[in-house]
Structure 1
Amino acid sequence: MPNKDGFFGEYGGCFVPPMLEPIMKEITEAYEKIKDDPVFKEELYYLQKHYTGRPSPVFHAQNLSKQLGGAQIYLKREDLNHTGAHKINHCLGEALLAKRMGKKKIIAETGAGQHGVALATAAALVGLECDIHMGEVDIYKEHPNVVRMKILGANVIPATHGLKTLKEAVDSAFEAYVQDPVNQLYAIGSVVGPHPFPMMVRDFQSVIGREAKEQFQEMTGKLPDNLVACVGGGSNAMGLFSAFLQDDVNIFGVEPAGTSFKTGDHAATLTLGKPGMIHGFKCYLLQDEKGEPAAVNTVASGLDYPGVGPQHSYLKDVERVKYETITDKEAIDAFIELARKEGIIPALESSHAVAYAMKLAPTLSPDQTILVNLSGRGDKDIDYVVEKYGKDYGL
């Protein structure tokens, strides 16, 4: 998957204005050509190893596991990648593709800022201009990443309409892309958007799962019993899950329940949404009474999207992946707990996955294992956490 038209079952596709149809076809053909090109693969592998720092390690969180009882928790340390998250995996691929296609600029949206930082980094490396569209609310919440993007030479463009978060950043980036699709490549930041992006981003992120599978077997002599990853758009989760879909492994995607299940208080798309259209593709979608994308909210800026990757939508329907939810409070608790038990400060997005693993572990036997994709580090979140929740944790 996907099929030639970009569908995972009934989800996905490429629903774009007529003027963009030949552009999307050009991107698809260029990607299909380079993905099996030995020269491209060698260049990408070199950068993954010597620039990103791959392979990222798998770490046995023994202190946390002992405290919780039950299953043993392991962490795939994507937070240790250059730029601090999994996003660099596909950003390097997209930047190299843009360079091959003769583009002058790469543009993108960002929520938590990790994709923006990674893309600005990749753009600087390969010598391309870079525009990052970011909601005004997220610019405030994720100020350290905004500064990093500017230092790297990117233009940070505020999205000032609507809720001023991730959806609006995508809207803004799409509007800018339509103005000049010839000289720009829209480097979408997750497994969302029109075909070929859900496929392409998944493929670049699949290095996570391939590494983790080999590393875990080397460490323990077997596959993990359970996989856990947070899901907003869903790129870090698809990166881990893709290598294990044919194996006898339980797989859990974790969405943000926010502060309640009232519309506008959460971003639990697969849990409470229904099939719909957004940003050029079909997926599960949180919708208002008019069928338009609903307002969303979560403590983790990188998860506040009303849609989700089409492959996740398909995996929900065929019941290969079980999608669960974690509240803002549970995510903050996990953020603090992992820091104080293992000396690792996770991103608030990743904290949702950690929180679910913390709930799951005590329900399982000690011979069971849980592998969590720790998709990013929490440097970007510390000011926000201290300001909003510091008193509750003695900060």
Structure 2
Amino acid sequence: MSFPLSSRTSDSSLLVAHGWDEGWAAVFEPYAAQGLVPGRVVRVDRGQCDVATADGTVRADTAFVTPHDPLRVVCTGDWAAVDPEGAGDPRYVRACLPRRTAFARSTSSKRSEGQILAANVDHAVIAVSLAVELDLGRIERFLALAWESGAQPIVVLTKADLVPDPVGLSYLVEDVETVAPGVQVLPLSSATGEGVDVLSAVVAGGTTVLLGVSGAGKSTLANALVGEDVMSVQAARDVDGKGRHTTTTRNLFVLPTGGVLIDTPGLRGVGLWDAEAGVGQVFSEIEELARDCRFHDCAHEAEPGCAVAAAIENGTLPVRRLESFRKLMRENQRLVAKTDARLRNEIRKDWKRTMAAGRAAVEFKRNGRLR
């Protein structure tokens, strides 16, 4: 069954430019019946948000949709049901439509809360600066979160003009490709324009979130994609290539080639948030090898018949990849355990069994017998 782009809601080009389609129109029907109007959240700031509607961008209050769960707060990229014009001042966001995808990470707080960075995203562009040494572990973290969100990741190696040697640049691309299976890796220079048209074509027609640490060149890239200086830019420090937080909010822009772009502030920390499937996607070669291990619960350490250990031994799997895989899986398990009492209890039981086995081994070594 198909639905028109609007039924009692506007099908204006402004809504369509922001990603409105038949699916969103169908979901919005109950809110249209209440006289509310649809709009896309383009910016959120302290309980207020800017919403692009059929009649232009309006300022709206989020007091009616402020849940206790930080992963459900109004976020840039959300589609919202807003009071119609003339309903009063201020206008309010009355509801947000269910998200198709959501990019989330854990916060740095000790409460281990999640933080939603962008909603309803089709592509996650991970900006990595070639002005500094590649941090493959950080790239793997970003990729895990991107895959977990439901978006298609793309790794963009910015400032490619700083690597004039084509051979050296190709080696850097290959290094990143080894940690990004199934992901396009694109060297790009916003200064010279190299690769910008390729990226524009890839992300046209959908919603793209731009991610990376400060100094990765995100704001410069956003300006290049949008075709005008919509974001202010500051130079990165020469000593370490780090930048200052030029972008302080998440902003959504319409792209001239079609689709929209969400620019985000530089991320100091890239904490996982319930991203086991995403980690598995990033390390798909390890997941594939593990299927051939003798034991289904193989820890890939000293077990006999371990296909992963065999791959390490023959050099087909780098040790760094396995160590990174273990690190991210442990981190994700700890995070989930903090919010999942059942899993926390299972981990505690495993720890007690391990301790008991250790004590039994010591007893046997001392006395030649088990208790």
| TM-score for both structures, normalised by structure 2 | 0.28
Higher relative contact order (CA 8 A, sep 6+): 1
For the pair shown, the structure with the greater C-alpha radius of gyration is: 2
Higher helix share: 1
| TM-score for both structures, normalised by structure 1 | 0.27
